[in-house]
Structure 1
Amino acid sequence: MFKLLITGNKKEIDTYSLVLLARGIEHELRRGDKWEIWVPEELYDKALQEITLYQLENQETSSSKDKSSPGGAEGVVFSMLLFAIFNVALLDFKPKDELFAIGTANNVLFLKGEWWRVFTALTLHSDFGHLLGNIFFSGLFFYLLRAYLSLGLCWLLAVLSGGIGNALNLVLSRGVHISIGFSTATFGILGVLSAFVFFERGRKRILITSGFALGLLGLLGAGKGNIDLGAHFLGLVVGFVIGCCLKLFYPADLRHKWETKGLLLAWGIVIFSWYVAFSR
């Protein structure tokens, strides 16, 4: 018999013993000043390899957990605060009725070429309660999505799914249709999160996620005539499609990718859209 390793930690020695048992490697536990694992000479190399592989995998898992969401909650809260400030600051440029005139998602004007409206509408809200509700739910979904994406990508996908969702809603609407609010982007982020949960944790979980999404969709739309369910639903669908595409065609770890680029692009789209709107 050859001595494989020595440790003073009983829990650790039991773990290594389980690893060897799982691989069918004969061994003995001995107690001297410390705990020891002994294996037959002919199994020594195989046992050492299995223990080394286990240690490497365990180190990678621990490192991944430590780095998964650096400043996750703080970053989300701070970015949502900036978003609220941006919404309020718009009122310093023009009165509310003028902002609504040039920035709402209006299907008649959108179809005439005023593309920016699908993005500017994301930063217009009917009152403070409307803004606060969108910030709360968006912050919640951003925080949950930080387990899979960087904050920059969260914002970029929110703006893109919100804008595309608004555009589809305007194209499909009959008669004159006008909408405002960040909620299309909120549901877009929920769609992205649903896609990642679907792929990461098994297909049965999609039932839970879908139930949550549909329940929230109904909650936000229940009893109010000014809720745009079409925009919410299309934002959700667009976000889910984007999330599926990321998982299928770009399966890399995205928790630390595009942190700065994503933020700059997301806010660049919104600010440029308002620049065009003010210039008309």
Structure 2
Amino acid sequence: MAESDGCNATVAGGRRAANGEGYLPPPGWRPVNDPLGTGGDWLPLSRAESRVWSLVLASRGIPYRQRKVGGGRLLLVPESLFIEARRQLELYRLENRDWPPPLPESRPLPENQLATLAVFGLLCAFSFLIELPAARDWLPRVNWQIAGSARAGLILDGQWWRTATALTLHTGGLHLAGNVVFGILTVGWLARELGSGPAWLLVLLAGMGGNWLNALLQAPAHDAVGASTAVFAAVGLIAGLNLVRYRRPLWRRWALPLAAALGLLAMLGAGDGRTDLGAHLFGLLTGLVFGVVAAWGHERHGRPGPWLNRLLALAAAGIMALAWWLAIRS
């Protein structure tokens, strides 16, 4: 029955007795987990409790020794410091009695996945139509890829609409399918959490912000297309929401969404040589900032009502329509 000492010394001996677990501490030492402070029976500590109490005593410079007894542990302190040790442990208990605070209450989320599926369905239809030869007779006669791509030099020259139009263009079916699948998962969650209108407006603005920031750091000839910037913006929005929601519980709880977002960027955002890592990174970071702001607004004002939700959805659709109108005219 080995003992450990907070002062890195070995406890000598120890006397057997008929009370408690049949163990008496060495002379001059006393169990700090003696519930009544009488030296009679004591309450065994769990391993976790013993570790925490040991850290409290060590931080106050109070020597301690541990002993495994039965199914628990004893924590011994010098008799001369018994009262001070008990006082420090009580102070620790009072300071931490409400820690960690309870997690936010879960609430039922609305079933609005149909709107999310409809938007991604429109994206697929648009991507199909602009490549369909038969549709060229009634669509505007433009090269959609050239007119709407996120060419860095043109964006910085004032063609801001390219930060939006590039989100609707893709290089092929596989590129489109990947963004649609991950988009349904991420934007779908946001739409249920915030409402479809706020979710789509935030995803669009964060995606546009990611493309604009990327243009600042790229060569003027740099060109990119794809909804992946908006998808990573949605991931950043989710992380930002959870950073605020779990800011009071243990740091591991609110750091987890951020770590997951960075892990997703590392796994999916780096890809091959054609993958625009900068756009993915800036989409993620922009979404993170927007998510923190949205979370504060959500906590203060709650979910938007039906009319505001529709207004925000129309605003997102209006921004995209205006962007493509300007792209076609230019």
- How far apart in 1 are the matches of 2:269 and 2:295? 30
Higher deviation after alignment, 223-232 or 211-220: 211-220
Alpha-carbon distance change, 256 to 85 in structure 1, aligned in 2, over 3 angstroms: farther
Say how many residue pairs are matched.
215
Higher deviation after alignment, 76-85 or 230-239: 76-85
Look up the SS of the partner of 2:194 in the other structure: coil
Matches within 5 A, 1:115-154: 115-154=160-199
Residues 147 and 255 of structure 1 are in contact (CA less than 8 Å); yes or no, is this contact kept in structure 2? no
Matches within 5 A, 1:82-231: 82-91=122-131, 92=135, 93=139, 98-201=143-246, 202=249, 203-231=251-279
For residue 175 of structure 1, report the CA deviation from its aligned partner: 4.9
Partner of 2:38 in structure 1?
none
Alpha-carbon distance change, 140 to 256 in structure 1, aligned in 2, over 3 angstroms: farther
For residue 109 of structure 1, report the CA deviation from its aligned partner: 1.4
Look up the SS of the partner of 2:193 in the other structure: coil
For residue 130 of structure 1, what is the amino acid of its counterpart?
A: H
Report Cα offsets for 1:146-203 as digits up to 9, x if no partner.
3420011111111100111101110121352111111111111111111111222344
Report Cα offsets for 1:106-130 as digits up to 9, x if no partner.
1111122222111110001000111
Alpha-carbon distance change, 218 to 249 in structure 1, aligned in 2, over 3 angstroms: same
Residues 224 and 276 of structure 2 are in contact (CA less than 8 Å); yes or no, is this contact kept in structure 1? yes
| Relative contact order, higher structure (CA 8 A, sep 6+) | 1
Residues 113 and 192 of structure 2 are in contact (CA less than 8 Å); yes or no, is this contact kept in structure 1? no
Higher deviation after alignment, 253-262 or 239-248: 253-262
- Which ranges in structure 1 are unaligned for 5 or more consecutive residues? 1-60
Q: Tell me the TM-score normalized by structure 2.
A: 0.60
Q: Find out whether 1:267 has 2:312 as its counterpart.
A: no
Alpha-carbon distance change, 219 to 95 in structure 1, aligned in 2, over 3 angstroms: farther
Residues 190 and 199 of structure 2 are in contact (CA less than 8 Å); yes or no, is this contact kept in structure 1? yes
Matches within 5 A, 1:223-262: 223-249=271-297, 251=299, 252-254=301-303, 256=305, 258-262=308-312
- Which ranges in structure 2 are unaligned for 5 or more consecutive residues? 1-104
Alpha-carbon distance change, 177 to 206 in structure 1, aligned in 2, over 3 angstroms: farther
**% identical equivalent positions:** 33
Q: Which has the larger radius of gyration?
A: 2
Look up the SS of the partner of 2:226 in the other structure: coil
Partner of 2:96 in structure 1?
none
User: Which protein is richer in helix relative to its size?
Assistant: 1
